[in-house]
């Protein structure tokens, strides 16, 4: 696979991810939930300062700055690694998974870098675009937009269960976005099929032409 084709995959995923996030940010108030397919697939708008699936690195502005800076370095290194994989002839599947992971990381990085500069804060009112630099946060301090919610199974835990008795159990509970899904898909596929995928493609062995073989035999 060529490097430009891998970059095209990255671009398309980021485009879909950002268009979806912008739609949610400008059409949902914070915490709003809409059913898509019954009760097991919903759009639920939240924002977070942390990592994928709403996990947090550290509370406060310093933790957010550290996390965003780390993402920025990781994404820059990711472009280099993707090019190395292509130049060394790794399999198409490995490169596609690398592109998925890179696209997901870059998609969430864009939120962290710029959303605080270009959007108003979302609360009981729907967010909207503002003049650059007049948003709810500073550069590198934007919040990541999440919206995909799949509570496929929900039921109350029996009272005899330690610590969780009487509480509602939900699977799958985290709210995530398309960038998170791209990262998870790339990582899971690599882990499951690493023996088949993570290898270099062997160059095809060219057989000598029949005329050359005949000449050698005649000598």
**pLDDT value, residue 71:** 87
Confidence of residue 199 (pLDDT cuts 50, 70, 90): low
Query: Mean pLDDT across the chain, nearest whole number?
Result: 86
More confident residue, 35 or 67: 35
State the maximum Cα–Cα separation within the chain, in Å, rounded to a whole number. 90
pLDDT at 128 over 70: yes
- Note the pTM of the prediction, 2 decimals: 0.81
Residue 125 inside a domain? The answer is yes
- Residue 70: half-sphere exposure toward Cβ, Cα within 13 Å: 9
**pLDDT value, residue 177:** 96
More confident residue, 153 or 122: 122
Confidence of residue 201 (pLDDT cuts 50, 70, 90): low
Query: How many Cβ atoms sit within 10 Å of the Cβ of residue 134?
Result: 11
Question: Which tens digits make up the pLDDT trace of 153-196?
Answer: 777 878 787 777 777 777 778 899 999 999 999 999 999 988 77
Residue 98 inside a domain? The answer is yes
- Residue 1: half-sphere exposure toward Cβ, Cα within 13 Å: 23
Confidence of residue 110 (pLDDT cuts 50, 70, 90): very high
> Distance of CA 140 to CAs 18, 64, 71, 123, Å?
17, 8, 10, 21
* Highest mean pLDDT: which range of 84-88, 123-127, 158-162, 201-205: 84-88
**pLDDT value, residue 206:** 54
- Total domain count, the chain: 1
DSSP β-bridge partners for residue 35:
42
**pLDDT value, residue 50:** 61
Choice among 49-53, 201-205, 212-216 with the minimum mean pLDDT: 212-216
pLDDT at 23 over 60: yes
- Mapped onto helix, strand or coil, the DSSP state of residue 170 is strand
Q: In which domain, by residue range, is 43 found? A: 3-203
What DSSP character marks residue 54?
Answer: G
Sign of the torsion formed by the C-alpha atoms of 54, 60, 61 and 67? negative
Confidence of residue 125 (pLDDT cuts 50, 70, 90): confident
> For the residues 11-35, what does the mean pLDDT come to?
97
- Residue 31: half-sphere exposure toward Cβ, Cα within 13 Å: 3
Residue 198 inside a domain? The answer is yes
- List the catalytic residues: 146, 180
């Amino acid at each position: 696979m060529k490097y430009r084709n891998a970059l095209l995959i990255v671009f398309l995923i980021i485009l879909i991810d950002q268009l979806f996030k912008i739609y949610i940010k400008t059409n949902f108030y914070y915490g709003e939930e809409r059913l898509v397919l019954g009760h097991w697939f919903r759009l639920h708008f939240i924002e977070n300062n942390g990592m994928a699936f709403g996990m947090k690195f550290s509370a406060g502005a310093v933790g957010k700055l550290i996390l965003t800076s780390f993402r920025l370095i990781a994404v820059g290194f990711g472009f280099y690694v993707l090019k190395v994989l292509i130049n060394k002839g790794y399999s198409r599947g490995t490169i596609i998974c690398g592109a998925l992971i890179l696209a997901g990381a870059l998609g969430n990085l864009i939120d962290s870098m710029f959303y605080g500069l270009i959007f108003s804060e979302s609360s009981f009112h729907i967010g909207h675009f503002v003049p650059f630099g007049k948003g709810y946060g500073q550069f590198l301090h934007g919040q990541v937009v999440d919206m995909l919610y799949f509570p496929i199974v929900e039921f109350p835990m029996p009272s005899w269960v330690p610590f969780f008795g009487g509480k509602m159990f939900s699977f799958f509970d985290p709210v995530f976005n398309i960038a998170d899904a791209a990262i998870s898909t790339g990582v899971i596929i690599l882990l499951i099929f690493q023996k088949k995928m993570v290898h270099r493609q062997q160059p095809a062995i060219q057989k000598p032409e029949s005329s050359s073989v005949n000449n050698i035999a005649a000598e």
